């Protein structure tokens, strides 16, 4: 009993010594930006700035509303928030990205001024075609518009991939910089930006309209794509920092502190609009002890009680400001607020061609009657420096050590051999990846060609696979009857499976029965020859 008591006393002395050293280490920092996020790796000490006491303390001290990172410290914006711009221009621009080409065109036509839709970028998924983003030009405001939808494009099942990589915050290196971004968001952005060619389209427009601004606008997951897109353009020195506007609605956290610092330094006009109890901006979650946790950038514009005209809103001066939407507990946030912004349901408003008389006020119920306005000590808040951050040099950037999940192929044709359950029937399957461009849109297509092989000598033993073939193929072209030796087709949302020496097609178009019959005839001819 005596030895246990001695151990407890000794352990308390050790904790007291460590705590005293942590307080002594943190107390030397007198300002928020020099204190927040400060680490002493050898002693495992982390400092936070406590605005209540106006002092730097260690994390061991329970300080409410403490600033853990330097970007959380209040900083006045060099550009004011313009609610008219967000309500009149931003809302229909993000709503248009949720609809079809016709709905998109009608929505944009309702925006004041001479706004023209130039190109739509779409991708085929197992559930149909979805818009990933579009590019437009506003000649009245002299601006090039890049709008990003909330749909995360991909050929994988949305929620399976969403749960696996988004919520666990698996990360990828961004454009050779020091910043790390969410792998799921990066994969989705990479397809739109490089595979579908949105970056090339904007590059051409910038060379034509040299004096125009560029607006990057996104909703929900599309807000993450907008953030990565603006940095990609700045890295390549395609646009001027002073001509960029970044406006997102209910955007997720995208990258770690290195990525956030790039946005803070390079993008002067940046605002994140958050509606009420929107849960999407709270993800991916920040877990204590994580080496590179995700983080938001400044400036959040929070509408706590609806977004009707004249509604109260707060321009928060910190990135993860504890006086704004971050104050909400996990039980108070909800997904319904992410779909409705400025009293418009994005999906339904796009379907009604962004008519002015379509409102959804009932979705704005809130838990709060009177939200106190954020209070800052203005004497200790500095104004953003007028000089912009230096763009990283491309020659000194480190190489990307880990490739993206969906890289731009060096060859448009890849060939794989598959073996069915029959030991004598082999099939050669060739997959073609391409993009089709027109004056109005660009769509990613995958074509699959299946050819029965007459002899086993035609099959490489190193390339056999017993797995099921699953390939999405899409097109708007007319169906062509396959030849007697080759089954070549284009069809909408087609899934091809090799099972029991037969090919089963799972789609709803009129060519399904014809193609199944033709493929079965080819199989019978092949078996007869074998």
What is the DSSP code (8-state) at residue 218? E
Phi, psi torsion values for 22, nearest 5 degrees? -60, -45
Strand 244-249 to 270-275 pairing: parallel
pLDDT on residue 113: 87
> Would you call 476 exposed, middle or buried from its count of C-beta atoms within 10 A (0-12, 13-18, 19+)?
exposed
Q: What is the mean pLDDT of residues 309-315?
A: 90
Handedness of CA 311, 315, 316, 319 (dihedral sign): positive
pLDDT in tens, 161-186: 455 566 666 788 898 788 899 888 89
Q: Does pLDDT of 13 surpass 60?
A: no
**3-state SS track over 252-312:** CCCECHHHHHHHHHHCCCEEEEEECCECHHHCCCCCCCCCCCCECCCCEEEECCCCCCCCC
CB 211 within 8 A of CB 142: yes
User: E strand or H helix at 148, and its extent?
Assistant: strand 143-148
Q: What is the mean pLDDT of residues 438-442?
A: 47
What is the DSSP code (8-state) at residue 408? P
The residue with greater pLDDT, 305 or 126, is 305
Residues contacting 484, CB < 8 A, separation 6+: 521, 522, 525
Q: 274-306 in b/e burial notation, b at 16+ Cβ within 10 A?
A: bbbbbbbbbebebeeeeeebbbbbbbbbbbbbb
pLDDT on residue 156: 39
pLDDT in tens, 405-439: 333 333 333 333 333 333 334 445 544 444 444 44
pLDDT on residue 327: 86
As annotated, the residues of the chain forming the CATH 3.40.50.1820 domain(s) are 87-380
Q: How confident is the model at residue 521 (pLDDT cuts 50, 70, 90)?
A: low
Q: Does pLDDT of 146 surpass 50?
A: yes
What is the DSSP code (8-state) at residue 161? H
pLDDT on residue 345: 85
Q: What is the mean pLDDT of residues 283-311?
A: 84
Q: What length does the chain have?
A: 530
Q: How confident is the model at residue 387 (pLDDT cuts 50, 70, 90)?
A: very low
Report the helix count and the strand count for the chain, using DSSP H and E: 13, 22
Q: Does pLDDT of 516 surpass 70?
A: no
Most confident range, picked from 35-44, 97-106, 255-264, 395-404: 255-264
Q: 117-151 in b/e burial notation, b at 16+ Cβ within 10 A?
A: bbbbbbbbbeeebbbbbbbbbbeebebbbbbbbbb
The residue with greater pLDDT, 458 or 202, is 202
Residue 338's CB is within 10 A of a number of other CB atoms, namely 25
Measured in whole angstroms, the distance separating CA 99 from the mean position of its chain's CA atoms is 18
pLDDT, the chain, mean? 70
Handedness of CA 374, 380, 385, 388 (dihedral sign): negative
Q: How confident is the model at residue 144 (pLDDT cuts 50, 70, 90)?
A: very high
The residue with greater pLDDT, 416 or 1, is 1
pLDDT on residue 133: 92
Q: Does pLDDT of 86 surpass 90?
A: yes
CB 469 within 8 A of CB 498: yes
**3-state SS track over 445-508:** EEEEEEEEECCHHHCCHHHCCCCCCCCEECCCCCCCCCCCCCEECCCCCEEEEEECCEEEECCC
pLDDT on residue 1: 58
pLDDT in tens, 188-221: 899 899 888 899 999 999 999 999 999 999 999 8
The residue with greater pLDDT, 97 or 504, is 97
Q: What is the mean pLDDT of residues 260-279?
A: 93
Q: What is the mean pLDDT of residues 295-319?
A: 91
317: which 2 tokens? 């001066």
Which of 509, 374, 502 has the alpha carbon at shortest distance from 450? 502
Rounded to an integer, what distance in angstroms lies between the CA atom of residue 437 and that of residue 443?
7
| Fold of the 87-380 domain | Rossmann fold (3.40.50)
Q: What is the mean pLDDT of residues 236-254?
A: 93
Output the CA angle 17-20-22, nearest 5 degrees.
110
Distances in Å between the Cα of 374 and the Cα atoms of 30, 281, 300, 301, 489 are: 22, 19, 12, 12, 60
């Amino acid at each position: 009993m005596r030895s246990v008591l001695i151990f407890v006393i000794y352990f308390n002395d050790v904790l007291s010594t460590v705590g005293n050293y942590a307080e002594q280490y943190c107390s030397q920092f007198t300002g928020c930006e020099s204190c927040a996020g400060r680490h002493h790796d050898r002693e495992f000490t982390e400092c936070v700035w406590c605005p209540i006491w106006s002092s730097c303390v260690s994390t061991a001290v329970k300080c409410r509303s403490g600033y853990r990172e330097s970007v959380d410290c209040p900083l006045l914006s060099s550009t004011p928030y313009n609610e008219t711009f967000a309500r009149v221009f931003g809302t229909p621009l993000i709503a248009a990205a949720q609809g079809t080409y016709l709905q998109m065109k009608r929505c944009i036509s309702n925006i004041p001024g001479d706004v023209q839709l130039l190109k739509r970028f779409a991708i085929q998924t197992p559930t149909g075609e979805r818009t990933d983003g579009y590019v437009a030009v506003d000649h009245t405001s002299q601006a090039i518009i890049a709008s990003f939808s909330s749909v995360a494009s991909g050929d994988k099942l949305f929620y399976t991939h969403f749960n696996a990589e988004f919520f666990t915050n698996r990360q990828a290196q961004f454009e050779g910089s020091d910043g790390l971004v969410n792998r799921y968001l990066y994969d989705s952005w990479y397809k739109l930006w490089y595979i579908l060619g949105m970056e090339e389209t904007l590059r051409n427009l910038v060379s034509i309209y040299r004096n125009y601004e560029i607006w990057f606008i996104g909703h929900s997951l599309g807000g993450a794509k907008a953030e990565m897109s603006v940095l990609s353009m700045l890295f390549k020195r395609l646009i001027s920092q002073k001509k960029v506007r970044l406006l997102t609605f209910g955007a997720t956290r995208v990258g770690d502190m290195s990525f956030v610092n790039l946005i803070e330094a390079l993008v002067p006009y940046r605002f994140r609009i958050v509606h009420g109890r929107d849960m999407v901006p709270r993800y991916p979650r920040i877990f204590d002890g994580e080496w590179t946790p995700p983080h938001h950038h400044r400036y959040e514009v929070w509408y706590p009680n609806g977004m009707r005209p004249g509604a109260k809103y707060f321009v928060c001066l910190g990135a993860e400001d504890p006086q704004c939407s971050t104050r909400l507990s996990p039980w108070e946030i909800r997904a319904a607020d992410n779909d409705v912004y400025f009293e418009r349901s994005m999906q339904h408003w796009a379907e009604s061609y962004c008519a002015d008389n379509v409102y959804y006020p009932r979705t704005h119920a809130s838990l709060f009657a009177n939200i106190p306005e954020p209070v800052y000590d203005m004497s200790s808040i500095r104004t953003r420096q007028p000089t912009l951050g230096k763009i990283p040099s491309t020659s000194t950037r480190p190489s990307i050590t880990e490739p993206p999940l969906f890289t731009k192929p060096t060859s448009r044709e890849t060939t794989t051999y598959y073996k069915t359950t029959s030991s004598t029937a082999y099939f050669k399957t060739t997959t073609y990846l391409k993009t089709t461009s027109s004056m109005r849109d660009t769509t990613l297509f995958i074509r699959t060609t299946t050819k029965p092989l007459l002899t086993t000598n035609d099959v490489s033993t190193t390339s056999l696979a017993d797995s099921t073939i699953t390939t999405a193929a899409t097109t708007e072209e007319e169906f062509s009857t396959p030849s007697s030796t080759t089954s070549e087709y284009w069809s909408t949302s087609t899934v091809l499976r090799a099972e029991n020496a037969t090919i089963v097609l799972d789609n709803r178009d009129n060519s399904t029965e014809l193609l199944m019959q033709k493929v079965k005839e080819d199989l019978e001819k092949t078996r007869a020859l074998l």
